[in-house]
Amino acid sequence: MFIDRRDLHDHNVHRPLQAGISGTRSEGADSICISGGYVDDEDHGDFIIYTGHGGQDTDGTHVRDQSLESPGNAGLLTSEVIGLPIRVIRKADKSNPFAPAAGYRYDGLYLVTSSWMETGRDGFQIARFRLDRIYEQQVLEPAAQVVPDPAYATTTVTRRIRDSVMAREIKDLYGFHCQVCGLAVPAFDGRTYAEGAHVRPLGRPHLGHDVKTNLLCLCPNHHTQLDTGGLFITDDAVAIDASTRSAIAVLRWRKDHRVSVDNFRYQREELWSFPDM
């Protein structure tokens, strides 16, 4: 618990005295403060739909579009891309059941798991970020009977993906070969590894479907690249490297499997604002 923004600053919990986001494009963001300042914020406790910085008048009204280039918003994007955890601080707010009764409270570490632009309630474009609380921490409500494995305190999350049944079927269909580059990552004793990649994410607010028309079989590198906005797929199923804007490959397809053009468009346009393809 902290008394005010100065108290947060002095303890290096949230350094800026006014801004809601602490961070920069190159370093990533390291903390956010949820103060109820944006009507579009949604606090669900374990996950948050957070509105980016900027575009507001002095009285808090949105008067222009937000940009992903402002330091705070660019910092949250960098944190999403590189997987940097974010400290979340909640300010007292009677309208928010997850906020403390008074002052400011540090509520643990979250990951930015998704980002996109949308039209806010005031009619201007706003940057939006989904943050998910990291599980291997004390729960928000004091209910911990289970003593956690101390190893978790320092372990990073396992990189391997737990696939849905549908993703398993897609990987089997392609024999664990990446649809972009054809690689099947070698593993122990002749086994191979691939991942089922959802083109439109399943979580809120995107609510993509766990169906084959939303799934690709990819190697971890191209899955990462797709998820972090470094790879786009045209309506004609050509994979484009976002940094060079040049074609990498035409996706390899097996009989009876195609991904819906709507899902490719969602990933390009709604998630990463790449409409001009």
The span from the CA of 45 to the CA of 38, in Å, is: 17
Q: How far apart are CA 54 and CA 150, in angstroms?
A: 41
In the 8-state DSSP scheme, what is residue 157? P
Which residue lies nearer to its own copies by CB, 56 or 225?
225
Nearest-approach distance from CB 34 to its own copies, in angstroms: 17
Q: Residue 65 CB, nearest distance to its own copies (Å)?
A: 17
Which of 224, 258, 235, 231 has the alpha carbon at shortest distance from 247? 231
Alpha-carbon distances of 204 from 174, 208, 212, 255, rounded to whole Å: 29, 9, 19, 31
Q: How far is the CB of 18 from its own copies (least distance, A)?
A: 26
Nearest residue (CB) to its own copies, 221 versus 260: 221
Nearest distance in Å: CB 143, its own copies: 5
Let me know: does 40 contact 188? Beta carbons within 8 Å: no
Nearer to its own copies, 49 or 237 (CB): 49
CA 250 to chain centre: 27
If the CB atoms of residues 7 and 46 are measured against its own copies, the closer one turns out to be 46
- Pairing mode of beta strands 28-34, 86-91: parallel
CB nearer to its own copies: give 126 or 226: 226
Compute the least distance from the CB of residue 181 to its own copies, in Å.
10
Q: How far apart are CA 154 and CA 58, in angstroms?
A: 43
